[in-house]
Amino acid sequence: MNREEIGQDLHGSSIASCQSCQKIGTVVSAKCEVRSAKCGVQGVDAPVFHRLRAFHVPLLLAVVAVLGTGCPYVPEEHPAYKLGFAVGFAKDDRYWEGFYDSYDTVDLGPIYYSGGEIPSVEYPPYAAGYWDGVWYAYNDGYFVAYDYAFTIGFSEGYDLAYAPDYLEFLAEDEHLECLDGGWTDGYNDGFSEGRVFGANDYEGSLPLDWLDALLDYRSGTDLYFDEIDLGTGAFGPVVLYEYGVDPATLKAQTSARVKCEVPELSYRPLEGQAPDEFDEAPATSPRSNRQLTLTTTWLERVNAYLAAMQSAPKNPRIPTAAPK
């Protein structure tokens, strides 16, 4: 299948069309709720997965202080704040607490997110930095678990849709949106995005390669099948979890269908911490009775994803002949 270049979007990304899908290279920014280091400032405009710290906007914080709120102004260069943040962020126990709070949030059951219980201290500087660091450590862990689940789900959705009946598979498969940033939420979000890429790659005679497709997705590529009105990003049903958002507030944001960038996260070593299930290579997916062709374990796929992200090219894939 040959794609014809028909233009570029405002980001300079190529927009191409093919027989039944459109590849749209865009990255959409959205309002991301972030924890403030000072005075409870929230609602900073930013790409969703890019972690912003409110202490990066000292001018705004200074204005808040000048207005007489009673909140002390602590500049980001304050050595006591920086030291406190480093100590708090280094708390591996809080990172893994967040990780397993996400991992244990499954199947629309209880939500274990507890980031809202971490104190938000304004002063003195060391305490303010320490608790901000703890908050980021916890939320890194919570989001990393979601990101790993997304990666695994993407690989399995891609694998199952890479088949001769790809359109029928897409039409019959149903997306489950949990809106909690938990393991099931991440798996289903990834599966639903990955299936579209798998179908596209089979139709276009591209090699079976879920990781290459995921890197393409992470670079900002969206796909759309007009025959069944289904695609990825804003063209599909997935509502991606936003870093640092309490799932209780996310429940009210079901209309926010956004495309996100790769997060700047502290992916801490999995050795001795990974769940036992990571060593398995399931034969089927919870979303289908079809047999998976994947033979790698969840841990192997996660490690491959992390390694690839370090040096991934950002260019869209070029169609090549591949046996079906």
Q: Which residues pair with 21 in a beta bridge?
A: 225
List, in sequence order, every beta strand (DSSP E) within the chain.
4-8, 14-17, 21-25, 30-32, 44-46, 221-225, 230-231, 284-285, 288-291
Q: Residue 105 sits in which domain range?
A: 1-324
Are β-strands 221-225 and 4-8 bridged in parallel, bridged antiparallel, or unpaired? unpaired
- Give this prediction's pTM: 0.74
The domain tally of the chain equals 1
SS3 of 162, please? coil
Where b means 16+ CB within 10 Å and e means fewer, 112-127 reads bbebeebeebbeebbb
Lowest pLDDT segment from 33-47, 94-108, 208-222, 290-304: 33-47
Whole-number pLDDT of residue 23: 40
Say how far residue 253 (Cα) sits from the centre of its chain. 16
Angle between helices 125-161 and 210-218 (to 10 degrees): 130
CA 256 to mean position of chain CA atoms: 14
Whether 9 and 233 have beta carbons less than 8 Å apart is answered as no
- Name which residue leads in pLDDT, 24 or 224: 224
Cα–Cα distance between 121 and 46 in angstroms, integer?
Answer: 24
For residue 126, pLDDT over 70 is answered with yes
With a cut of 70, say whether residue 289 has pLDDT above it. yes
Rounded CA separation 61/57 (Å): 7
Burial, 36: exposed, middle or buried (Cβ in 10 Å; 0-12, 13-18, 19+)?
buried
Average pLDDT over residues 50-55: 28
Contact criterion met (CB below 8 Å) for 101 and 147: no
Q: How many CA atoms lie within 13 A of 131 on its CB side?
A: 17
Rounded to the nearest 10°, the torsion over CA 159, 160, 165, 169 is -130
Most confident of 41-55, 80-94, 198-212, 246-260: 198-212
